[in-house]
Structure 1
């Protein structure tokens, strides 16, 4: 019988960040010689211990290795650093499978010869070949050690934005915190689709990111309808002027006007690199 990891691992984790926040959906399975999951018998509910392995322990997942080889490749924590894994490093199988969640790496992988780690799993009691992740990965220092968050920060600095989600955002040209917040206000449905998460969770991310706003504003003119918008640095509408009228607050508009303004704001986002900018406060803009 053999343990296997099922699921993809990212190229990079950050210390003190739960692995699921990197977009990882990983589980451990116990399989018999035919490759079928073991769902009956005492071992199908056994305790599994997770371990950090050296990245150069490069083995074929279908091969066999000795327990001694596995133990030899377990990474020992650096002096005064404590265990390399914290959280749910011991989990129980249920019908031969268990999810791997709520574990964090406490140290980076730079000290190893390969500069990377692998993840391992073994039965605490019982006989089964250990699991070794097919892919090795880097562990970098926690993003909070990179200085304060700013609008120019990469999206992976945001809470709950792991490497995979950050890559999906980058594929849509959303690379910075400012890009993220601008799309959040200009087209929240598009952002929600990219993130693949609930509206509440998306709102929590946006709320935490708004601590780094600046006084920069964008000016958008739609000459056909005679509409002029003043947008803050993350595309909140701070002023609307219709055909030469006095500037109005977004909250004072009726439903039809808000619908028009939202469409124009979405278009403004698509052309944001060409929009004129100013650091003059909204009330000072005629």
Structure 2
């Protein structure tokens, strides 16, 4: 009879044991055993490890790699960062879609500060993120300042009592290859009632990646005005089809605006056409109302 020896956990066994070796080890453990409970304290921890390895082996092909672009993302790490890749205008209006300064959709990216590259693959490149409103006095330079998740959450601005939620629209944004765009989202209230008088947009992980600490992203600060003031807002830069009063120093329905309209200059396109074809004529019009 083979003499019984106490099994030392981990002795002669590696974490990457082949299933055949595992079966041989089991047969050796239980050969001649009189009492199964005698071996359980030594066997339980090894069995837990084997089960974990097998589960991971089966589900890994479906979940993809457990890292982001081969970068380890342990809990507590802030190397992965959400960022606004678009600058917002210094003034927004309630009820109007939030657009970037160049009037394109606001772009959000997932960035790795170690490699200084966009995270374009791995499970984190397709997470969903949520848009929040932050107080405008939250940090002065989002590219240099650091903050904790608790500090970020404390700066989230909620709606005023009796008012609708501050943001309306598609507040959850899915990332594709580490990039996402804010859709039809607008403010329902102005920013004049908070101490700083300004808001920021904030973005944080919405779901599916709670176990990983991804740094939240914040936009530049801006003011939100009531939509009634938008009808007099200048466009920077103006489009060719904008009315001519969208240009600086031309007030809507003012003397300059009326005079230009009399000369057939109603939009920016007309203004530029006359400037190119007959600059002297345009200067004469300007002289008449200067």
User: Structure 2 length normalisation: TM-score?
Assistant: 0.57
- Determine whether 1:138 maps to 2:151: no
- Aligned length, in residue pairs: 194
Q: In 1, Cα distance between the equivalents of 2:196 and 2:267?
A: 41
The correspondence for 1:8, drawn from 76, 84, 87, is: 87
Q: In 2, Cα distance between the equivalents of 1:192 and 1:101?
A: 33
Secondary structure at the counterpart of residue 99 of structure 2: helix
- Determine whether 1:68 maps to 2:144: no
Secondary structure at the counterpart of residue 152 of structure 2: helix
Q: In 2, Cα distance between the equivalents of 1:48 and 1:31?
A: 14
The Cα of 1:16 is off from its aligned counterpart by 0.6
1:138-178 C-alpha deviation (Å, 9 max, x unpaired) = 1011126x8xx7xxxx4x2xxxx64553999535x544356
The correspondence for 1:53, drawn from 134, 141, 144, is: 134
- Alignment CA distance shift 1:187-1:170 (3 Å): closer
Q: Does the aligned pair in 1 maintain the 2:130–2:204 contact within 8 Å?
A: yes
Q: In 2, Cα distance between the equivalents of 1:28 and 1:53?
A: 16
The Cα of 1:121 is off from its aligned counterpart by 0.3
Greater C-alpha radius of gyration? 2
Secondary structure at the counterpart of residue 43 of structure 1: helix
- Alignment CA distance shift 1:164-1:85 (3 Å): farther
- Alignment CA distance shift 1:101-1:275 (3 Å): same
> Which stretches in structure 2 are left out of the alignment for 5+ residues?
1-79
- Alignment CA distance shift 1:122-1:5 (3 Å): same
Q: Specify the alignment match of 1:129 in structure 2.
A: 215
Higher strand share: 1
Bigger shift: 98-107 or 116-125? 98-107
Secondary structure at the counterpart of residue 271 of structure 1: helix
- Determine whether 1:272 maps to 2:269: no
Secondary structure at the counterpart of residue 204 of structure 2: strand
1:170-216 C-alpha deviation (Å, 9 max, x unpaired) = 35x5443565684794386745879xxxxxxxxxxxxxxxxxxxxxx
Q: In 2, Cα distance between the equivalents of 1:30 and 1:192?
A: 42
User: Structure 1 length normalisation: TM-score?
Assistant: 0.57
Q: Specify the alignment match of 1:170 in structure 2.
A: 247
